[in-house]
Structure formats: structure tokens, C-alpha cells
């Protein structure tokens, strides 16, 4: 099924990766959100669990192996085109993640990958729901330390 103008919503996963009080963001190399910063993630593939998809996507985009920990939320992302027709429709499932191993480097569909403080992320044009889930992830990670 096509990601663009799909017949039904697609399931996507997102990783709020927190390490040393910083959060990992990737600069998207492909649509949707090409050229914009976001949390790592992508589309669930047939036969994968959401946690498997999350770990695969983070590894592909950042070179890091992560553990998917706490569920942070389930969100709708509906992006219409200029005529109002639904161009993208995702149901996003976001998890707090911990780094297990690897070296940070942008991968297959990311133009860049960097660690940011909570103050720095506010200057990267993230959507309100993405900022909210990042803040929730950081608070949960701090409570677990």
C-alpha cells in the first residue's frame, strides 16, 4: 500500500530516545516531513510487532540499537494536500526508548541524527504533539533514573 494517498490509515511507530538528559532527533530524508526534524520512527511492516518495528526503524535511521520501554501514547497524524484530500494518514504509536549499543550516524532515510537538550528541541519546528510526547518521555526517563 502506498504511503501517499493511502486507502486506509497506516500504522507508524516513534521512538523518544533519551540518553544523558538529551533526546534523539532525526532530520527526515523522505516525505512526509522531508527536511524536518522529528523523533526516529517509521511504518510497521507485515509480521512485525510494534516494538520490533520501532527497534528496526531506529537502527536503520540512527545506527543505534535501542530497547523499547514504556508506551507514551497513540496519536493521529493526518496530512491533507492543498485540495483537502488526505495525502498521508498515520496512527502513530510512540515509546520511550533506551540506547543499548551502537554509534550515532544518520542512516537510510535520515539526512542527519543528533542529540538535543529539551531547550534546544523547542527551536526545531516540531509539532505540538511531538513536543508533548518528547516532554512526557523525558519526564518518565528522569523518574526511572
pLDDT recorded at residue 6: 93
Residue 15 to residue 8: CA distance in whole angstroms = 23
Q: Is the pLDDT of residue 143 over 80?
A: yes
- Position 139 confidence tier, pLDDT thresholds 50, 70, 90: very high
Q: What is the pLDDT of residue 69?
A: 92
Half-sphere exposure in the Cβ direction for 129 (13 Å, CA): 12
Please count the helices (runs of H) and the strands (runs of E) in the chain.
3, 7
Region class of 44: left (phi > 0), else alpha (psi between -120 and 50), else beta: beta
The pLDDT score that the predictor gives to residue 108 is 77
Q: How far is CA 72 from the centre of its chain?
A: 12
pLDDT in the model for residue 87: 93
Q: What is the pLDDT of residues 19-68, one digit of tens each?
A: 988 999 999 888 767 889 999 999 999 999 999 999 999 999 999 999 99
15 contacts 129 by C-beta, under 8 angstroms: no
Dist. CA 9–CA 67, nearest whole Å? 26
pTM: 0.90
Domains, the chain: 10-144 (3.90.79.10)
- Name residues whose C-beta falls within 8 Å of residue 42's C-beta, 6 or more positions apart in sequence: 12, 13, 53, 57, 60, 61, 109
pLDDT of residue 38: 93
| Residues shown for the chain | 145
pLDDT (tens digit, 9 = 90+) per residue, 78-106?
999 999 999 999 999 999 999 999 999 99
Amino acid at each position: 500500500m502506498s504511503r501517499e494517498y493511502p486507502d486506509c490509515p497506516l500504522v507508524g511507530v516513534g521512538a523518544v530516545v533519551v540518553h544523558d538528559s538529551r533526546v534523539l532527533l532525526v532530520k527526515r530524508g523522505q516525505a512526509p516531513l522531508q527536511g524536518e526534524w522529528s523523533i526516529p520512527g517509521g511504518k510497521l511492516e507485515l509480521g512485525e510487532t510494534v516494538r520490533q518495528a520501532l527497534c528496526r526503524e531506529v537502527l536503520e535511521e540512527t545506527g543505534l540499537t535501542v530497547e523499547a520501554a514504556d508506551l507514551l501514547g497513540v496519536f493521529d497524524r493526518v496530512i491533507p494536500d492543498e485540495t483537502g484530500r488526505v495525502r498521508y494518514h498515520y496512527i502513530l504509536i510512540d515509546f520511550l526508548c533506551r540506547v543499548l549499543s551502537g554509534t550515532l550516524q544518520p542512516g537510510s532515510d535520515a539526512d542527519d541524527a543528533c542529540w538535543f537538550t529539551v531547550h534546544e528541541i523547542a527551536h526545531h519546528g516540531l509539532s505540538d504533539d511531538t513536543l508533548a510526547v518528547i516532554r512526557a518521555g523525558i519526564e518518565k526517563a528522569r523518574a526511572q533514573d
